Structures are given as structure tokens and as C-alpha cells.
């Protein structure tokens, strides 16, 4: 796997951690989760910038935001007990399908 995809996946994971900590920070009233939010988002944007050296910003952002949506939905289910209905699950499946189409078939991602 090319290093820029590793950076992109790590950026998505960092963003997902930051968003989860944002929920736990209770509007930045809890110090530890608040610090995690800032650190995780900082790491996410740094890693995202490394990916942008090789890939176009539109594709990077589409993959980053799409995977982030899916990861946050899974974390919401596992950590916070937030359930999704069938239309939401179908929408998430379509997001993943779009990411796969981009990754597998687009020449813009510089495989």
C-alpha cells in the first residue's frame, strides 16, 4: 500500500478519534477529552496535508470525509449506543461503494 494511503487512513482515524472526543468533551467542559479533540484534529490535518502532496484535494477530501462518516457511525453504535435505520445503513454502503470505485478505477488517485 502506498504511503500516502497510509497517511490518509491515519488521518481518518485521527479525525474519528477527535470527533468521538468532541462528543465526550460535553461542549469543551471536560479538559481531557477537549485536549484529545485538539490533538487528534491537529494530527488529522497534518496527515491529510501529507496525502495532498500526491493526490488531488477533491479525491482526498471525498475519501477522508466518506470514511470518517462510516467510522463515526460505527463508533456511535459501539460506544454511544446510537442505532441507524435501514436508509442510513444503505447510505453508508453507498458511501463505501463510492470510495471503492474511486480507489479501484480512478487514475486520479495515483496508485
Q: Over the stretch 53-102, which tens digit does the pLDDT of each residue have? A: 999 998 898 889 999 999 999 999 998 899 999 999 999 999 999 988 98
Global pTM value: 0.84
Q: Over the stretch 4-38, which tens digit does the pLDDT of each residue have? A: 999 999 999 999 999 999 999 999 999 999 999 99
Q: Read off the C-alpha cell for 90.
A: 444503505
Question: Could you give the C-alpha distances from 24 to 35, 41, 67, in angstroms and in order?
Answer: 11, 15, 21
Write down the domain spans for the chain.
3-109
Distance from C-alpha of 19 to C-alpha of 51, rounded to nearest angstrom: 20
Band of pLDDT at residue 110, cut at 50, 70 and 90: low
Distance from C-alpha of 84 to C-alpha of 74, rounded to nearest angstrom: 10
Amino acid at each position: 500500500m502506498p504511503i500516502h494511503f497510509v497517511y490518509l487512513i491515519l488521518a481518518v482515524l485521527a479525525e474519528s478519534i477527535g470527533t468521538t472526543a468532541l462528543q465526550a468533551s460535553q461542549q469543551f467542559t471536560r479538559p481531557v477529552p477537549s485536549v484529545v479533540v485538539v490533538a487528534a484534529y491537529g494530527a488529522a490535518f497534518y496527515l491529510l496535508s501529507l496525502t495532498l502532496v500526491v493526490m488531488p484535494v477533491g479525491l482526498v477530501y471525498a475519501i477522508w470525509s466518506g470514511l470518517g462518516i462510516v467510522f463515526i457511525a460505527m463508533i456511535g453504535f459501539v460506544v454511544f449506543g446510537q442505532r441507524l435505520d435501514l436508509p442510513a445503513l444503505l447510505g453508508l454502503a453507498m458511501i463505501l461503494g463510492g470510495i471503492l470505485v474511486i480507489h479501484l478505477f480512478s487514475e486520479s488517485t495515483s496508485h
